């Protein structure tokens, strides 16, 4: 991935970056960029694998925009099937959002122009068709700020995914155990046969969140018992066991080794593009500072382990020591042993061999809400009483494998309607035994309560709602249009966990 530094010696290492190089050259604000949705080949576990991707004009995956540069992009569908690409976390006009309920599908060979002023921060782009996202039709979207350019630090992107040698249809068939019929709408998976269901169960964590130790920066918060309303009941995790877990298209058998400077400062831009997997980011011996989530700054939060659900992003600052030792940054699969990551290595450092499986099982991300409670937005929403309060019920079960919003699947959904400009306070109340990363298109919301505990939390576009718990968010209703709202777990989305927020114009 692209590495930025004002130190000259890094220029050579940037030149040998792998196929995920994100170009960052000076461009005129009116320059148009190109993206092509197509197939590509990567190597996984020593085997060649054909996957999908979003290839830029220089042959790399994804885009990096300079400060003030418009998102002026020509997107071509080079696949043999229709597609639709969503600019996750951005707020374009609704007609450019890339959602299949409001935008026409991009036909085979069709090219479509996009043009809007982007939000700065760490974002990503992906197909809004579950099978295509499972097949890695996703890539980073980095929008740099003037502060990024002025900072004397190196930038490293970690794009996380989960990968299977099976076809996406087979992955969804085994995940859902479907016996025909589907609930995902016009562009959801076709009917599927019964398959083996891959998932684990763990005791739902209580307020103390045993197993993780104390996260730095969170002392004095107590055990927060009752914050999620959960009891000691089994919690469903990891619906499918993938063949590999990737960072920048690579496993730890052959990880990306990023050349860094001794005593240098780094910013990690971490994107969880995994279709069904939540991770703990583990910086090991390196003390880290979490400084942004989902593209918006937070008051720095110190630690070495940070949870990240599907669809979420985080920016972490690291200071490399001067000892010249290479150090990994890992992403640990929740409730399992698998791990992925990359290695930060000063010039001349010995690069360690790392296993793809940890010795001990990583505790769940789902239910551990200490980080969410500790985060504070640098630029919170303006204080304002809600005009609308809305309860959104999340439901479903592993058998039968159907997931719902307000007791309905997508085909039978009842849109949530709010007036344009209204301050909306929305509680996601999860009545299922699985956590759900809930994503709202076209809006940024602030976390204002977790399990009934008020908090002036982070600004987000995707929030992880724990099993049998709740998270309340607030936002100001934007463009009068239909905006998709859904779970970002592809198995849940494919079986109907999606609805619309309809913002209506006021007289």
**Residue 170's pLDDT is what?**
97
**Can you tell me whether residue 265 is helix, strand or coil?**
strand
Q: Domain boundary residue among 114, 146, 178?
A: 146
Q: Within a domain: residue 57?
A: yes
Instruction: Return averaged pLDDT per consecutive 10 residues of the chain, 507 residues in all.
Output: 35 33 43 96 96 97 97 98 98 97 96 98 98 98 97 97 98 78 35 33 37 39 36 73 98 97 97 98 97 98 98 98 97 97 97 95 90 97 97 95 96 96 98 96 98 96 96 98 98 96 92
The answer to whether the beta carbons of residues 56 and 76 sit under 8 Å apart is no
The DSSP annotation for 115-130 comes to EEPPPSEEEEEEESSH
Closest CA to 155 of 292, 260, 43: 260
**Cβ atoms < 10 Å from Cβ of 45:** 13
- pLDDT of amino acid 506: 87
Residue 39 domain-assigned (yes or no): yes
Q: Does some domain include residue 204? A: no
Among 120, 146, 172, identify where a domain stops: 146
Which residues touch 229 (CB under 8 Å, ≥6 apart)? 451, 452, 468, 469, 470
CATH of the domain at 56: 2.60.40.420
Q: Work out whether strand 138-143 and strand 154-163 pair parallel, antiparallel, or are unpaired.
A: unpaired
Does residue 397 lie within any of the structural domains? yes
Residue 150 contacts by C-beta under 8 Å, 6 or more apart in sequence? none
pLDDT at 234: 60
Q: Look at residues 146, 168, 199 and tell me which one is the last residue of a structural domain.
A: 146
Contact assessment for residue 71 and residue 115, using Cβ atoms and an 8 Å cutoff: yes
pLDDT tens digits, one per residue of 169-193: 999 999 998 533 333 333 333 322 2
Within a domain: residue 304?
no
The pLDDT score that the predictor gives to residue 178 is 59
pLDDT tens digit sequence for 30-66:
589 999 999 999 999 999 999 999 999 999 999 999 9
Has residue 21 been placed in a domain? yes
Which domain, by its residues, includes 15? Answer: 10-146
Model pLDDT, residue 6: 32
Domain membership flag for residue 185: no
438 touches 463 (CB < 8 A): yes
Count of domains forming the chain: 2
In a domain, 298, yes or no: no
Give the rounded distance of the alpha carbon of 179 from its chain centre. 30
């Amino acid at each position: 991935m692209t590495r930025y530094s004002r130190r000259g010696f890094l220029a050579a290492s940037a030149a040998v970056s792998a196929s995920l190089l994100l170009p960052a050259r000076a461009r005129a604000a009116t320059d148009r960029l190109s993206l092509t949705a197509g197939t590509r080949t990567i190597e996984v576990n020593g085997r060649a694998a054909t996957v999908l991707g979003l290839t830029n004009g220089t042959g790399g995956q994804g885009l990096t925009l300079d400060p003030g540069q418009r998102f002026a992009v020509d997107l071509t569908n080079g696949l043999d099937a229709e597609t639709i690409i969503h600019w996750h976390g951005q707020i374009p006009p609704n007609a450019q959002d890339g959602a299949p309920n409001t935008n026409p599908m991009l036909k085979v060979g069709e090219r479509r122009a996009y043009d809007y002023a982007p939000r700065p921060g760490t974002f990503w782009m992906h197909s809004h068709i579950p099978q295509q996202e499972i097949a890695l039709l996703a890539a980073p979207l980095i929008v740099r700020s003037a502060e990024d350019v002025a900072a004397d630090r190196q930038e490293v992107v970690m794009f996380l995914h989960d990968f299977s040698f099976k076809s996406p249809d087979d992955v969804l068939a085994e995940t859902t155990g479907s016996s025909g019929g589907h609930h995902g709408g016009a562009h959801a998976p076709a009917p599927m046969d019964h398959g083996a269901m891959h998932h684990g169960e763990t005791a739902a964590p209580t307020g103390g969140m045993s197993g993780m130790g104390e996260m730095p920066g969170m002392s004095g918060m107590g055990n927060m018992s009752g914050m999620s309303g959960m009891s000691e009941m089994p919690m469903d995790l990891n619906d499918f066991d993938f063949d590999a877990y990737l960072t920048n298209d690579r496993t730890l058998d052959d990880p990306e080794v990023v050349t860094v400077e001794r005593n240098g400062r780094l910013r990690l831009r971490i994107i969880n593009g995994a279709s069904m997997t939540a991770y703990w980011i583990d910086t090991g011996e390196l003390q880290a500072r979490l400084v942004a989530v989902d593209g918006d700054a937070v008051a720095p939060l110190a630690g070495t382990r940070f949870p990240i659900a599907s669809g979420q992003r985080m920016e972490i600052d690291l200071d490399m020591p001067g000892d010249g030792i290479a150090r990994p940054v890992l992403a640990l699969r929740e409730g399992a042993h698998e791990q992925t990551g990359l290695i930060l290595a000063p010039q001349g450092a010995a690069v360690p061999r790392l296993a793809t499986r940890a010795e001990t099982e990583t505790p769940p991300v789902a239910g551990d809400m200490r980080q969410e409670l500790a985060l504070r937005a640098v630029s919170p929403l303006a204080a304002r009483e809600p005009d609308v309060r809305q309860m959104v019920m999340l439901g479903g079960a592993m058998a039968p494998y159907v997931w719902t919003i307000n007791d309905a699947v997508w085909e039978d959904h009842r849109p949530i309607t709010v007036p344009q400009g209204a301050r909306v306070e929305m509680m996601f109340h999860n009545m299922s035994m699985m956590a759900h990363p809930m994503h709202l298109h076209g809006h940024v919301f602030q976390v204002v309560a977790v399990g009934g505990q008020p908090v002036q939390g982070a600004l987000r576009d995707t929030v992880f709602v724990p099993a049998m718990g709740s998270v309340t968010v607030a936002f100001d209703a934007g463009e009068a249009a239909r905006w998709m709202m859904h779970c970002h777990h592809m198995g849940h989305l494919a079986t109907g966990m999606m609805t619309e927020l309809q913002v209506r114009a006021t007289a």
